[in-house]
Amino acid sequence: MMMLDDFMMRAALAGLGVALAAAPLGCFVVWRRMAYFGDATAHASILGVALALGFGVSVFAGALVVALIMAATVSTLSGRGYAMDTLLGVLAHSALAFGLVAVSFLQGVRIDLMGYLFGDILAVGKTDLAVIWGGAIIVVGLLVWRWQALLTATLNPDLAQASGIDPRHEQLGLTLALALVVAVAIKVVGVLLIAAMLIVPAAAARPMAHTPERMALIATVLAAGAAMGGLPVSFALDTPTGPTIVCIAAFIFALTTGAAAIGRASARG
């Protein structure tokens, strides 16, 4: 029986924690077409990592603060005449570039840049696990608490306004949750792949679900399956674990999308 001291057990628990937080939130990212938003927030977090290492504070805290600043900036600028895809592209890649440049100025600090870019789930410690699961519980708790309001504001902002729900307030809640997921997922899949764990399981679940609640549940199961499947595959093939987990998720997306296409063709025939 593997114990918590076993690195594979810690990696599995970390993968499950990230899946639990990222998958249901990813459904809102897909519904709101916020894929670029997830990318911008994730890319900005590498600047937070560099600043945290430079000032000797927690990497989680640095990534979370910068991700929150990016999320707040994008939310503030949205709806003010800016083309959002262009704005998010500029912010995402600029933040990543500034972060990488800032890392190069760190003297006397050992940093595994590849680990932060692509994740290092096998190096997850007990403290990391506590952070990941603490963040996951907060995100899931927020989604459960505000589920109906978030859903109404996402699917029909006018109806939400008429029902006394402030869509911008709900958007702010989502951006805070997204920043938190980015901060806790860095250790598992890295800043370049966090958006994939938000979007791919949700997109894979979409053809299999007829209700929003069912889509969120299926996405969580698929994300957990990708995390659990990616670990042994990466161990067997000696491949990077974070990218392997995303590859498994992409394979699941191909299967569900292909099956849905075949089903539609059969129904027409």
pLDDT band of residue 80 (cuts 50, 70, 90) is: low
pLDDT beyond 90 at 255: yes
Query: Looking at residue 155, what is its pLDDT?
Result: 84
CATH at residue 131: 1.10.3470.10
Q: Highest mean pLDDT range out of 59-63, 108-112, 221-225, 236-240?
A: 221-225
Give the residue with greater pLDDT, 176 vs 221: 221
pLDDT band of residue 2 (cuts 50, 70, 90) is: very low
Query: Looking at residue 229, what is its pLDDT?
Result: 93
Work out the average pLDDT over 66-75. 80
In a domain, 219, yes or no: no
> Into how many domains does the chain fold?
1
In a domain, 227, yes or no: no
| Residue 70 structural domain | 7-192
Q: Highest mean pLDDT range out of 11-25, 161-175, 186-200?
A: 11-25
In a domain, 248, yes or no: no
Distance (Å) of CA 230 to CA 63, 237, 238: 25, 10, 11
In a domain, 63, yes or no: yes
Q: What is the pTM of this model?
A: 0.87
pLDDT beyond 60 at 3: no
Distance (Å) of CA 183 to CA 72, 85, 119, 199: 15, 23, 12, 17
In a domain, 18, yes or no: yes
- What is the overall mean pLDDT for the chain? 85
Work out the average pLDDT over 221-228. 95
Cα–Cα distance measured from residue 43 to residue 14, given in angstroms and rounded to the nearest whole number: 21
Say which residues have a Cβ less than 8 Å from residue 16's Cβ, sequence separation at least 6: 224, 227, 228
